[in-house]
Amino acid sequence: MLITPSDFGGDYRLFNANNLDIDTIRAIDDAQAELARDLFPVGSDFIIQNNPTDPPNLGLRQLGLHNVFIPWVFLRLEGGIAGAGIKKTSDVPGRSRFASGAFFAIARNYNYFLREWVKYEGYIQGNATTTTTILVDTIMASLLAAGMVIEINGSQYSIVSSSSTSVDISPALTSALGSIVFRQLSLRVERDWVYL
């Protein structure tokens, strides 16, 4: 999953955050799985099944997507909790948990994420140092998880593993080593997402 309970702080602090019950944790995971499916019609399983510190979640967090997930999941979670009558008041004096500020934060952060994401959605420059290893920038390496697919010169290659600055692919490249251009095919963002 992209976020964990420890990500909720400040305006999005959870009541009893250091001792969350299993139902609250399950609700957090269910809400973020729903959001991942809505935002990524292609590739949401990579987000749902991997840890926040593993690709592609590590790269998505570096691009700011967790700042969309936190207020969105928080509103889903708090709406259910308040509806059940468990905790209706804010832990932050003078602030309403249901204020429109969260909606503005979601819109602002989603817009920021899309501006950052577009750099990694299209073709990217890499450097093939061997027939199975490609050097890439750190964010791209953090976006490519094992099992994802990239395209190089019209051919598809599977990601076998990734490190902080490179990815290993299969099958081996048949083209010359050196500078290459590739694009990832395993994550696609829904640009017309409506969060209300």
pLDDT tens digits, 106-153: 989 999 999 999 999 999 999 999 999 999 999 999 999 999 999 999
Coil vs helix vs strand at 157: strand
Same domain for 114 and 22: yes
Same domain for 113 and 131: no
- Among 119, 141, 163, the domain-final residue is 119
Same domain for 153 and 115: no
Same domain for 127 and 164: yes
Q: For the chain, how many structural domains are there in total?
A: 2
Residue position matching structure tokens 């976006």: 143
To the nearest 5 percent, what fractions of the chain are helix, strand and coil?
45, 15, 40
Q: Assign 61 a pLDDT band (cuts: 50, 70, 90).
A: very high
The range of the structural domain enclosing residue 73 comes to 5-119
In terms of average pLDDT, the best of 16-20, 146-150, 171-175 is: 146-150
Q: What is the pTM of this model?
A: 0.86
Task: With respect to residue 189, please indicate whether it lies within any of the assigned structural domains.
Answer: no
- Among 119, 134, 153, the domain-final residue is 119
| 107-130 exposure pattern, b = at least 16 Cβ within 10 A, e = fewer | eebbeebbeebeebeeebebebee
Same domain for 77 and 25: yes
Residue position matching structure tokens 């290993």: 168
pLDDT of residue 84 exceeding 50: no
Tell me the two tokens of residue 109.
């952060």
Q: Give residue 128's pLDDT.
A: 95
Residue 44 to residue 186: CA distance in whole angstroms: 9
